């Protein structure tokens, strides 16, 4: 359980996190979604006390992170894969972290096996690929067998197999009743992993809801209708007043404002032959773009949005 | 290789928490798992023994200071000590660089974030670093100085110097030399914790050890004043240098010019460390990592 209350962080004149409040619950995977620079990493750093909040507070299991008696036993964190001395071997790195909490060598070997690092554990981290670095970071997060996991962009740099592995791991950990909080700037990734999503844009929470609701939030439910009688049927639907009808090719209509069953009923009443009648769920990607289009700090092309 | 994780949890039978002993162990693992540590200590050992043997082989009869064929007992011990401790002047640079790297290397690589999430109260981590690095440097320095003393001893009689192994002040100076190397190292560590950058930290420390004495010397030459001479006596390397000098009270200083004895020299060096460490600790506690 992670609780942020009116959390604010300013760096000089720049506000990275602005009055953010949210709760991350155990037993589910909570996604932390936002464009680059939205304040996701800063928020995660605030949770584990690396940065000091300018205002508000954040607690883990009801306590300040710094006050926890055994921080690594309660919270496992992957902030970025580069939080490792590159001159040390992966095993040396994990042993050093484990030693602070008296975590035995057997557990170090266990997380090395779990993250598939057996073959490279004795090698110096400077030679690691980004994907291997991520695995090492995740191994470090799992060391204390913590009830809460905070993973910042865990799939960055992973190959497709690794992405699936992280996805399964996150779901598995949540199923065990743990609190799993992972960030990404990719909506598609979240759609496949998270149960609940908190969307952050320019340091503010702009949505905090189950995945399904986030989808519905931005999708005007459109319905695709294919009929040989498209011109007559389109005019008929448009005349209804509630519906917006558009057509991108002959014989194909996109209708919003009416449900698929209602359109089917109208077609039957008018004797219109339908070849296709399918509700279009907006993709999560579309929903995300709709939610954050005003919140992106820098758009492509370098035009800064004021 | 990595399929679905079958088991992430383990038995919560013996759950240990965060402890200072654990943090000390962690810092010890960190120190010995870096190649730079091994290299730096090897260089300290090689410099101490190598330069000691070199001086013992080439020094004139009776030692550099007296050059008498019938030197006093004190002068003989001082000559033996000089050969034994010659390497300290170079070893201190290695110790300083390594000390700064112990902390700035973590900032440079990002390791500090792993360290501080494991030890969120922060100060125990800094303290453990200083203790582990200081004790290790002391032990390595002491062993190499003792080895140098034993290896140079057989060469000394040829120079009309007859080492007295039962002389307590000689061994005290050897311990002082090891303590000096350790304290220069932890002073560098403390300065590194303030500056947080390898290049900057190393420059600052070497500036304090190498450049500051030269500047003070120039001041002394230009102003011919006692305050400039006294200022020089309180710099870390000249104050600390007293820790491994033999019979330092033999010379009578001029009026108003401070001459520190080994104990005072140690206290001045310890004060340098304490001030830098407190500033570093406060900044570590306050700054975002």
pLDDT in the model for residue A287: 63
Shared-domain flag, residues A160 and A185: yes
pLDDT at position A284: 59
ipTM comes to 0.90
Query: Does A128 share its domain with A270?
Result: no
Cross-chain residue pair B117–A145, CB shorter than 8 Å: no
**CA torsion through residues A272, A274, A279, A283, sign:** negative
Do residues A133 and A257 share a domain?
no
Mutate to test the interface with B, among A60, A70, A81, A100 (most CBs of B within 10 A): A100
Which ranges constitute the DSSP H helices of B33-87?
35-58, 63-66, 73-85
Q: Is the dihedral of CA B177, B182, B185, B191 positive or negative?
A: negative
Between A34 and B7, name the one with better pLDDT: A34
Q: Do A49 and A174 reside in the same domain of the chain?
A: yes
A135-184 pLDDT tens trace: 999 999 999 999 999 999 999 888 999 999 999 999 999 999 999 999 99
Lowest mean pLDDT among A113-122, A265-274, B88-97, B147-156: A265-274
- Given this model, what pLDDT does residue A305 score? 42
pLDDT above 90 (res A73): yes
Counting one residue from A and one from B, how many pairs have CB atoms under 8 Å apart?
A: 137
Q: Is residue A287 part of a domain?
A: no
What are the tens digits of pLDDT across the range B5-56?
444 544 444 568 999 999 999 999 999 999 999 999 999 999 999 999 999 9
Model pLDDT, residue B13? 43
- The pair of structure tokens assigned to B188 is 């560098």
Which of A267-276, A297-306, B10-19, B78-87 shows the lowest mean pLDDT across its residues?
A297-306
Q: Chain A contacts of B26, Cβ < 8 Å?
A: 96-100
Domain shared by A224 and A260, yes or no: yes
For residues A22 and A94, state if they share a domain. yes
pTM value is: 0.85
pLDDT at A242: 72
Q: With an 8 Å Cβ cutoff, is A4 touching chain B?
A: no
Q: Are residue A169 and residue A246 in the same domain, yes or no?
A: no
Range of the domain at A157: 2-217
On the 0-12 / 13-18 / 19+ scale of CB atoms within 10 A, B280 is buried
Q: What is the CATH number of the domain that holds A150?
A: 3.40.50.300
Where residue A246 sits, what CATH number does that domain have? 3.30.70
CB contact under 8 A, B9 and A145: yes
What's the domain count of chain A? 2
Tell me which chain A residues have a C-beta less than 8 angstroms from the C-beta of B104: none
Chain segment A188-243, per-residue pLDDT in tens: 788 889 999 999 988 999 889 898 777 666 555 678 889 998 888 888 888 877 77
Q: What is the mean pLDDT of chain A?
A: 87
Domain ranges of chain B: 20-286
Q: Specify whether A210 is located in the same domain as A227.
A: no
What is the structure's pLDDT at A186?
A: 82
Tell me, yes or no, if B113 comes closer than 8 A to chain A by beta carbon.
Answer: yes
Q: Considering only alpha carbons, which residue of chain B is nearest residue A141?
A: B114
Write out chain A residues lying below 8 Å of B38, CB-based: none
Is residue A298 in a domain? no
Q: HSE of A78 in the Cβ direction (CA atoms, 13 Å)?
A: 26
Residues 6+ positions from A58 with CB-CB distance below 8 Å: A2, A3, A4, A5, A7, A43, A46, A47, A65
Asked whether residue A305 is domain-assigned, the answer is no
Asked whether the predicted pLDDT for residue A306 surpasses 50, the reply is: no
The answer to whether A79 contacts chain B (CB < 8 Å) is: yes
Same-domain pairing of A212 and A256: no
Largest alpha-carbon pair distance within chain B? 82
Residues of chain B with pLDDT under 70: 1-15, 65-69, 247-254
A155 and A233 fall within a common domain:
no
Nearest CA in chain B to A81: B110
Say yes or no: A91 and A8 in one domain.
yes
Residues A241 and A209 reside in one and the same domain? no
Residue A296 lies in a domain: no
């Amino acid at each position: 359980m992670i609780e942020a209350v009116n959390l604010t962080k300013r760096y000089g004149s720049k506000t990275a996190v602005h009055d953010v409040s949210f709760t991350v619950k155990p037993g589910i995977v909570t996604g932390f979604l936002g464009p680059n620079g939205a304040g996701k990493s800063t928020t995660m750093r605030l949770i584990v006390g690396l940065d000091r909040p300018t205002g508000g507070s954040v607690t883990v299991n009801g306590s300040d992170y710094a006050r926890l008696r055994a921080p690594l036993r309660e919270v496992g964190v992957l902030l970025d894969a580069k939080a490792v001395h590159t001159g040390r071997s992966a095993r040396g790195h994990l042993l050093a972290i484990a030693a602070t909490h008296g975590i035995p060598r057997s557990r170090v070997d266990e997380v090395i096996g779990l993250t598939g690092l057996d073959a490279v554990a004795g090698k110096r981290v400077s030679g690691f690929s980004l994907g291997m670095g991520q695995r090492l970071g995740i191994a470090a997060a799992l060391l204390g067998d913590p009830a809460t996991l905070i993973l910042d962009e865990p799939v960055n740099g992973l190959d497709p197999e690794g992405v699936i592995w992280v996805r399964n791991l996150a779901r598995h950990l949540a199923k065990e009743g743990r609190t799993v909080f992972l960030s990404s700037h990719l909506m598609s990734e979240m759609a496949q992993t998270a149960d609940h999503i908190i969307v952050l844009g320019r340091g503010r929470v702009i949505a905090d809801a189950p995945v399904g609701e986030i989808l519905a939030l931005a999708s005007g439910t459109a319905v695709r209708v294919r009929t040989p009688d498209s011109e007559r049927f389109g005019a008929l639907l448009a005349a209804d007043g509630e519906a917006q009808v558009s057509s991108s090719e002959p014989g194909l209509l996109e209708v919003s404002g009416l449900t698929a069953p209602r359109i089917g009923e109208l077609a039957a009443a008018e004797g219109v032959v339908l070849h296709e009648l399918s509700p279009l769920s907006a993709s999560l990607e579309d929903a995300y773009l709709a939610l954050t289009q005003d919140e992106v700090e820098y758009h492509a092309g370098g035009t800064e949005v004021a | 290789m990595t399929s679905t994780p079958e088991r992430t949890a383990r038995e919560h039978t013996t759950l240990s928490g965060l402890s200072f002993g654990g943090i000390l162990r962690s810092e010890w693992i960190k120190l010995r798992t870096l190649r730079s540590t091994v290299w730096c200590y090897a260089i300290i050992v090689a410099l101490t023994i190598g330069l000691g043997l070199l001086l013992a082989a080439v020094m004139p009869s009776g030692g550099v200071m007296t050059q008498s064929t019938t030197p006093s007992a004190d002068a003989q011990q001082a000559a033996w000590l000089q050969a034994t401790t010659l390497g300290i002047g170079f070893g201190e640079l290695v110790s300083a660089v390594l000390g700064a790297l112990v902390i700035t290397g973590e900032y440079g690589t990002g390791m500090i974030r792993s360290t501080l999430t494991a030890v969120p109260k922060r100060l125990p981590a800094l303290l453990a670093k200083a203790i582990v690095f200081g004790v290790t440097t002391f032990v390595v320095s002491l062993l190499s100085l003792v080895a140098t003393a034993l290896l140079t001893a057989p060469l000394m009689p040829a120079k009309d110097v007859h080492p007295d192994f039962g002389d307590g002040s000689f061994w005290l100076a050897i311990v002082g030399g090891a303590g000096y190397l350790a304290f220069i190292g932890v002073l560098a560590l403390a300065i590194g914790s303030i500056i947080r950058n390898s290049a900057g930290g190393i420059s600052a420390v070497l500036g304090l050890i190498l450049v500051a004495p030269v500047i003070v010397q120039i001041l002394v030459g230009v102003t011919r004043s006692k305050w400039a001479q006294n200022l020089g006596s309180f710099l870390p390397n000249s104050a600390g240098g007293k820790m491994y000098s033999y019979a330092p009270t033999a010379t009578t200083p001029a009026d108003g010019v401070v001459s520190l004895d080994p104990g005072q020299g140690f206290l001045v060096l310890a004060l340098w460390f304490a001030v830098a460490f407190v500033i570093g600790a406060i900044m570590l506690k306050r700054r975002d990592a």
